[in-house]
Amino acid sequence: MPQEAEEKRDREAYWTISGVLLALAIILLGLGLYFQLDLHHQPAPLLLGILAGFVLATPLEIWNWGDPDIVWRVVSFQDRFLMVCFGFAIGLGALLLYGLYLIPGTAPHFGIKDFFVPGIVVGGLLFGIGVGLSGYFPGLIWISLGQGRRDAIYAVIGGLLGALTWSLIFGAARGFFWNTLNFGPITWATLAGFSMSDRLGYFAVAVVFFIIMFSMFMFLPRYPGQPVRQSCAYHLSGASKESTVWEEVVAEEMRKYPKANKFITRLTNESSIRNSRSIILLGIAFTVTAVAVIYLRQIFGESTTFSWIGAQIAYAINPRWAAANPYWQLFGGLGFKNGVPYDKPFSEIGWEPFSDLGTFLGALISSLFVTRRFMGYRRQVPTLWARRFGDSEAKRALGSFFGAYLVLFGARMANGCASGHILSGNTQMAISSFVFMIFVLIGAWITLYGVLGLRINKWGFRK
């Protein structure tokens, strides 16, 4: 295919999927309001979670967040693109969430996590260390699996065992990690003196929160050392035509994904007018879907599924023992009648297993037909890992396994993950989620600097 025709095809694929995702996101939000106002706060059907997971996962796959190399660069602030986009999503999401909350009769499923200091701090640190080793958040494991990454298989196994370990020790650990210094589900609006019933007060705080987060999106340049005129505000307005392409990463991605959509590969690795203006549709679709989930009265999270899978396996082996587990009992429906356990563990779980299935499918379909990054589960070692530890697949398998183990153990200890805490929780302006995010970054920075040898907040890598 001639180069010009290929670029046109790749560009059209990007804009087509962006428009489809935005339309699906708006439909989900409309359904959320319908379930609120017409069906009197009825939770959405569980199968709808597949669609929600699909819409949330596809932008992340397009941005290539399933690639550990990208995650490590982002978390170390070598590349601020996705951090800035999350600021956009969190700020705009809070404004939309609490703006719709002003509508009389709405009662979204707020999932604001309690701020229990030991669990949030220690869990966040362990989570961050795990990200530094594996390059995966819980939801990204399913995305990477959809992209056909072999090391994601080891991450799934490690994540299942990490979640199971917390389930087994929860009865003994709860007193310290969850009950000590537990300040409850407080938010930035709580600290400003507003109760949840004060809808206008919450919206006013959300406006301030939006301005702060949106300003970060607008005025923080993508790469360290860049001037402000290389930020989204200048690019969106056309005030600056300067552009920067991270050619090293573009070349690296073309080696890893030789059939990749070249337009998307360059687009996602540059700071330019084209990048800033093209990312808006995907960002809005992602944000609207995250808010829609809350109005559909379902749980927004990716790590709970790991605990759910462990509970089902345990129940199949020993129902009485599984039904008596203190952690699994938190998710409802467990009990004994005439000495026999009834209902399975997690019998009152929301749609998380279905939304994770949608996450996997979104990444699979996107990587096959849009970005063309599908890797077919062939041998693979991330570039940054190989620079530090060599190309041994066994070493990478251990890093992926043990890192994911810590990620899921820390997520369950903190009662939330990147989805339930960092994105959904911060959209709801939860203090626990903000503190969790800070300690995730601290744990990741310690690991990235000390173990992988990345320069924090600088281009390049330590030799």
Residues 6+ apart with CB under 8 A from 219: 228, 231, 232, 233
The percent of residues in the chain predicted with pLDDT above 70, rounded, is: 94
- Strands (E) located in 156-268: 244-245
Beta-carbon count within 10 A of 180 CB: 12
Angle at 314 between CA 311 and CA 315, to 5 degrees: 85
Q: Are 13 and 58 a contacting pair, CB within 8 Å?
A: no
Q: How many angstroms separate the Cα of 82 from the Cα of each of 75, 110, 152, 356? A: 9, 25, 21, 21
For residue 182, what is the DSSP state? Answer: B
Beta-carbon contacts of 419 under 8 Å, excluding residues fewer than 6 positions away, are 137, 138, 139, 300, 301, 302, 303
Write down the pLDDT at residue 463. 40
**Per-residue buried b or exposed e for 265-275, using 16+ beta carbons within 10 Å of the residue's own CB:** bbbbbbbbbeb
pTM of the shown model: 0.93
pLDDT in tens, 356-380: 999 999 999 999 999 999 999 998 8
Q: In 296-414, which ranges are continuous DSSP H helix?
A: 304-317, 319-323, 326-329, 352-369, 383-389, 393-414
**Averaged pLDDT of the chain:** 90
Measured CA to CA, the distance from residue 148 to residue 142 in angstroms comes to 10
Q: Which of 276-280, 324-328, 372-376 has the highest mean pLDDT?
A: 372-376
Instruction: Tell me what the mean pLDDT of segment 180-194 comes to.
Output: 96
φ/ψ of 152, rounded to 5, equals -70, -25
Using the predicted structure, report yes or no on whether residue 29 has a pLDDT greater than 50.
yes
Task: Tokens for 277, please give them.
Answer: 């203006």
Return the half-sphere exposure (C-beta side, CA atoms, 13 A cut-off) of residue 173. Answer: 18
Residue found under tokens 């890598």: 461
Residue with tokens 């992602």: 286
C-alpha to C-alpha distance for 194 and 212, rounded to whole angstroms? 19
The closest of 434, 387, 400 to 414, measured between CA atoms, is 434
Region 412-422: what's the mean pLDDT?
87
Of the pLDDT bands very low, low, confident and very high (cuts 50, 70, 90), residue 350 is confident
Say if CB 294 and CB 420 are below 8 A apart.
no
Instruction: Of 189, 186, 217, give the one whose Cα is nearest residue 92.
Output: 217
Residue 449 CB burial class (10 angstroms; 0-12, 13-18, ≥19): middle
> What is the per-residue pLDDT across 134-153, written as a single tens digit (0 to 9) for each?
999 999 999 999 999 999 99
Report CA 180 to chain centroid distance, whole Å: 28
Contact between 414 and 436 under an 8 Å Cβ cutoff? The reply is yes
CB 271 within 8 A of CB 221: yes
Proportion of the chain above pLDDT 90, given as a percent: 64
Q: Where are the beta strands (DSSP E) in 243-346?
A: 244-245, 270-271, 335-337, 340-342
The rounded distance, in Å, linking the Cα atoms of 382 and 397 is 11
β-pairing, 244-245 with 270-271? antiparallel
Quick one: angle between helices 3-37 and 273-295, nearest 10? 30
Which token pair is 79?
Answer: 């590349």
Token output for 269 = 């690795």
Residue 167 · residue 384 · CB < 8 Å: no
Which is higher by pLDDT, 129 or 246? 129
- Check if the beta carbon of residue 144 is closer than 8 Å to that of residue 155: yes
> Residue 430: beta bridge partners?
187
